[in-house]
A and B are shown apart, each in its own frame.
Chain A
Amino acid sequence: MVSKKVKWVAPVALASIVGLTACGGGSSSTGDSSKAADTETGPVEFSMFSADPNPNWVGMKDEVGKAITEKTGVTLNAEYAIGGDTQKIPLMIASGEYPDLIMPKGDTSKLVEAGALVDLTDLIDKYAPNIKKMFAEDMNRLKYSKEDQSIYIIPTYNGVGQTSFDAGGGFELQLEVLKELGYPEIRTLEDYENAIKEYYAKHPTINGQPTIPMTLNADDWKIMIGVTNPAFLATGLPDNGEFYINPETFEVKMHYKRPEEKEYFRWLNKMYNEGLLDKETFTQKDDQYKAKISSGRVLGTINQEWDYSEAENVLKGSSDATMQNRIFGHFPVTLSEEYKDHSFMDVGFPGGYGIGLTTNLSEEEQIRAIKFIDWMASDEGQVLYQWGIEGKHYNVENGKRVIPQEIQDRKTKDTAAFTKETGIGQYTTMAPHYGDGVKDATDNYYTTNFPEQIQSAYTQPEKDALKEYGAKTWKDLFPQPEELGTSPWGAAFNLPAPSDPAYTVAFQKQTDIVRKRIPEAILATPDKFDAIYDGMIKELNAPDIVKMEEIFSQQVKDTVELWGTGK
């Protein structure tokens, strides 16, 4: 019986193998033919994956996209991750099928370990004069690690030489609240709380619906942006992800272990128990949060503007003047006067997330791809995707680039449609670029974010509020970089995460603990707060998490050595 079975299994297996190889051959040959083209400017298509979502991508059918294709011959077939999608890259690794260009965000180390990324050191040296010029001083910061000094990723998320001109973070208060209370000083948690309390007492409803004194976005990973990161910001630390790094010894510990942060969370606990913090804070989803913001009923939130700007745009576009005034101002609020908000600390060029080439490309194609990225890094390329097309999206008057008012209005109020149509802002993270405040050879800024531009982009209510505070931008209210010192390791959240399971598993474990205990502590009655918080610290002192801290500490030390920024 056995032999009989074997006899018929063999042809089946054979047939299936033939079938499989046939399929495999087919797909790879089509892939090659589309790229086998003239190495200079002939049409070529590159596939690309980005770990960030981009709902406005229209496949280079926008005006800037068409211009890029015209100049370089390159069409990008881009795929963007959906939401907090973190399985896409591991899946690519498992299947061994990579896109040509990749922007892996935090998953770089997984790709490096899988041997999927191309070392760009020589390619940049030979074929990319613009990139070379741009990173001249910071080339060391592009290197992967002390052991493996290859360049796998060209940082594109952070602008080179970036100076921030506006604040998007800090603690947010509604402009209408400020106006009603006569623009009080908002410096400490107490100021912030009092402003909310006072306005709430006077206006328990807005437009017939209950006022929400304060709500936070705590959905999934955004709990870090809205709930846990503000704990270190309010206690005078720069953003180093989940870690506190001792600037002298480079010892690392979870930032929750700092006693002052416990006081911050105690404040949130108090706000909750006084009915000022929205009861739904920890159960609402992202869209519910945004719906609340766009209803204009939220007096205060703690967030980054990029997370809620979509909802705020609804208010900006409202025809009602009071509703237009229900957008937020940004304040450097801290636990008490002794702390300084470190949002604008100078971290040097932080390196960080960017774009890489995969082994999916042949050597010839790699050259073509790096030349494409290099063109994007040229002055011509940068002005194109930052400013748009001359005569259409900006004009040159007396040698200065100027954005016409109607274009600026659309940009501020109808952002999504404007981006889809023009493509301005779509290509910025695909190539290294200069940051805000850097000027090109024509004495114009590379980006459209510069002091005058930012001020003219503010809506009238924002201008009015800023005037009352004697400031031109929200950033003027924050401690300036000069008072804050520098960081030898850049920003720790930009360093590649170690891929050692001893680190990754413990990191996930730590995430689970924090995301469960912090909400629990905040929602507890005040007498139980201490027990829950101390319990969390005890869990975070487990040997595997301490080990994780040590691994990261080593990473920081290696980085400082590699960059040569140590003392």
Chain B
Amino acid sequence: METLTPGGTSKNSPGAPAAEANAGKRFKKPSFWRTALQQKYLYLMSLPFVIWAFVFSYLPLWGWTMAFQNFKPAKGFFAQEWVGFKHFQELFTDDRFYLALRNTLAMSVMGLVVGFIIPVIFAMLLNELRGMLFKRFVQTVSYLPHFVSWVVVAGIVTKMLSTQGGAINDLLVGLHIINEPVQFMAKGEWFWYIVTASDVWKEMGWSTIIYLAAITGIDQEQYEAARVDGANRYRQMWHITLPGIRTTISVLFIMQVGHLLQIGFEKQFLLGNNLVQEYSQVLELYALQYGLQMGRFSYGTAISIFNSVVSVILLFTVNGIFKKVSKESIM
């Protein structure tokens, strides 16, 4: 893995590690302390952030010890009873855990796929629009839902899908596609799709912004050259715009994969109901209900350790694959 060299930026170009290795052979590598002295101001400036990261991201890891104890809040650390992997055993033998895991993975993979493809396509289409005013208008309208809280979105979705005056049912009945209103929210197998669709509605415009920004960075001369070569709009999109934002796409993708298991639970919690719990139960909700709410801190910690470990593995795997295949990675 490439480390961040002090004062320098991380080097993503494929030739960089080799060049560095060569440099190391020819010149005596300056000692750590000499570099530090030379760049003392840079070090000083980064110090608060190092401390911040240490305090808020690494110190709390100490709490992981809880997962191996029968943690009782009132007792001191040394008075706790150590139980080894008992909580993990319990976790891995619980059917509800696998159910929650399945739902989490299903919804996040669906969200990942759809939540990637649609904003990219949308950004490319928006980019092709020539009327500046119209483009701005569409963009603003499309990202407004991002600022609406999930509580409100859940309310809108339930109302839209309602059997009594819900817009979707009214439309479908009106067009004679169905004969009587469908109870969308009562069908467990549809729950994943409803969550994914509402997520797309809410976040599509917002995710588009970053791709639009990346597109503006593409050299206009490339388009001109392509036009000279006879490329039509679609060809230009396919051969210039898309490769132009490829790096952005892969960086975002890798980061998203790291969050696969951490999809939160607001959506599922707010949209779900007792009928669809088999499809709406997700890991974080499981950790809350079977861990924290019962005061089983150790069990909750065990779930969160599982979460973190899987996330780190996923992140490195995807990063590794991207590094091999496309020479693009974030580490």
Contact among B32, B47, B54, B295 with A113 in the assembled complex (CB-CB below 8 Å): B295
Contact among A115, A283, A505 with B275 in the assembled complex (CB-CB below 8 Å): A283
Interface residue ranges of B12-49 to A (CB < 8 Å):
32-33, 47
Range class of the B interface residue count:
35 or more
B295 touches A499 (CB 8 A): yes
Chain B residues lying within 8 Å of A90, measured Cβ to Cβ, are 292-295, 297
**A391 at the binding interface (Cβ < 8 Å):** no
B297 touches A283 (CB 8 A): no
Chain B residues lying within 8 Å of A218, measured Cβ to Cβ, are 273-274
Min CB distance A506 to B, Å, is: 11
In the bound complex, CA of A499 to CA of B59 (Å) = 30
A12 touches B295 (CB 8 A): no
Q: Quick one: which of B54, B159, B186, B277 has the most chain A CB within 10 A?
A: B186
Interface residue ranges of B248-279 to A (CB < 8 Å):
273-275, 277-278
Chain B residues lying within 8 Å of A4, measured Cβ to Cβ, are 32-33
Chain B residues lying within 8 Å of A279, measured Cβ to Cβ, are 163, 181, 183
In the bound complex, CA of A274 to CA of B236 (Å) = 61
**B74 at the binding interface (Cβ < 8 Å):** yes
Chain B residues lying within 8 Å of A515, measured Cβ to Cβ, are 274, 277
Known contacts A223-B274, A501-B294, then 12 further A-B pairs from the complex at CB < 8 Å, ordered by chain A residue: A4-B32, A12-B50, A90-B294, A114-B72, A210-B164, A218-B273, A282-B274, A283-B185, A285-B154, A288-B159, A516-B274, A516-B278
**A484 at the binding interface (Cβ < 8 Å):** no
**A468 at the binding interface (Cβ < 8 Å):** no
Chain A residues lying within 8 Å of B185, measured Cβ to Cβ, are 283
Listed by A's residue number, 11 A-B pairs whose Cβ atoms lie within 8 Å are: A86-B293, A113-B295, A280-B183, A283-B185, A287-B155, A501-B294, A512-B96, A512-B277, A515-B274, A516-B278, A523-B186
In the bound complex, CA of A507 to CA of B313 (Å) = 35
Q: Quick one: which of A12, A280, A519 has the most chain B CB within 10 A?
A: A280
* Chain A interface, >50% SS class: helix
The interface of chain A, by Cβ under 8 A from chain B, is 4, 12-13, 15-16, 19-20, 86-87, 90-91, 93-94, 96, 110, 113-116, 210, 218-220, 223, 279-280, 282-285, 287-288, 499, 501, 504-505, 508-509, 512, 515-516, 519-520, 523
Contact among B55, B59, B158, B296 with A288 in the assembled complex (CB-CB below 8 Å): B158
* Chain B interface, >50% SS class: helix
Sort A-B residue pairs by CB-CB distance and give the 3 closest, nearest first. Answer: A283-B185, A115-B74, A515-B274
A13 touches B295 (CB 8 A): no
Contact among B164, B186, B275 with A516 in the assembled complex (CB-CB below 8 Å): B275
Chain A residues lying within 8 Å of B164, measured Cβ to Cβ, are 210, 280
B293 touches A516 (CB 8 A): no
A280 touches B292 (CB 8 A): no
Min CB distance A347 to B, Å, is: 27
In the bound complex, CA of A86 to CA of B290 (Å) = 12
Interface string of B146-173 (1 = CB under 8 A from A): 0000000011001100111000000000
Contact among A110, A283, A512 with B273 in the assembled complex (CB-CB below 8 Å): A283
Interface residue ranges of B41-67 to A (CB < 8 Å):
47, 50-51, 54-55, 59
In the bound complex, CA of A113 to CA of B74 (Å) = 8
In the bound complex, CA of A282 to CA of B96 (Å) = 22
B278 touches A505 (CB 8 A): no
Contact among A12, A210, A499 with B54 in the assembled complex (CB-CB below 8 Å): A12
**B8 at the binding interface (Cβ < 8 Å):** no
The interface of chain B, by Cβ under 8 A from chain A, is 32-33, 47, 50-51, 54-55, 59, 72-74, 96, 154-155, 158-159, 162-164, 181, 183, 185-186, 273-275, 277-278, 288-290, 292-297
Min CB distance B293 to A, Å, is: 5
Chain B residues lying within 8 Å of A96, measured Cβ to Cβ, are 73
B162 touches A508 (CB 8 A): no
In the bound complex, CA of A284 to CA of B185 (Å) = 9
In the bound complex, CA of A68 to CA of B186 (Å) = 50
Chain B residues lying within 8 Å of A284, measured Cβ to Cβ, are 158, 162
Chain B residues lying within 8 Å of A15, measured Cβ to Cβ, are 51
Min CB distance B280 to A, Å, is: 11
In the bound complex, CA of A116 to CA of B73 (Å) = 10
In the bound complex, CA of A280 to CA of B185 (Å) = 9
In the bound complex, CA of A116 to CA of B54 (Å) = 31
In the bound complex, CA of A501 to CA of B293 (Å) = 12
Chain A residues lying within 8 Å of B290, measured Cβ to Cβ, are 505, 508
Contact among B155, B186, B293 with A283 in the assembled complex (CB-CB below 8 Å): B186
Min CB distance A267 to B, Å, is: 19
In the bound complex, CA of A283 to CA of B183 (Å) = 8
Min CB distance A359 to B, Å, is: 9
Given contacts A114-B74, A280-B183, A288-B158, contact A520 B294 (CB under 8 A): no
A113 touches B72 (CB 8 A): yes
In the bound complex, CA of A501 to CA of B162 (Å) = 39
A501 touches B292 (CB 8 A): no
